[in-house]
A and B are shown apart, each in its own frame.
Chain A
Amino acid sequence: MSSKAQRQPVAITFLVIGVLAIWMILAAFPFLWTLWGSFKVEGDFFSKANWANALTGKLTVR
Chain B
Amino acid sequence: MFIYQAFGARALSTTTDPTQIALIQANTNALIASVVLGGTMVAFWLNVLWSMASQLYWEKEIGNLQLYMMAPMNRMALLGGMAVGGMVMTSMRAVSTLVAGILVFGVVFRVADPLMLLAVFFTALVALYGLGMMFASLYLLWGREAWNLSALMEEPIFFSSGFYFPVGGLFRVPGWGPIVAIIGSFVPATFGLDALRQLTLSETAFGGQLWIFDVKTELYILLLMAVLFLILARYSLAYLETLAKREGKLTSRHQ
A and B bound?
Answer: no
* Interfacial residues, chain B to chain A (CB-CB below 8 A): none
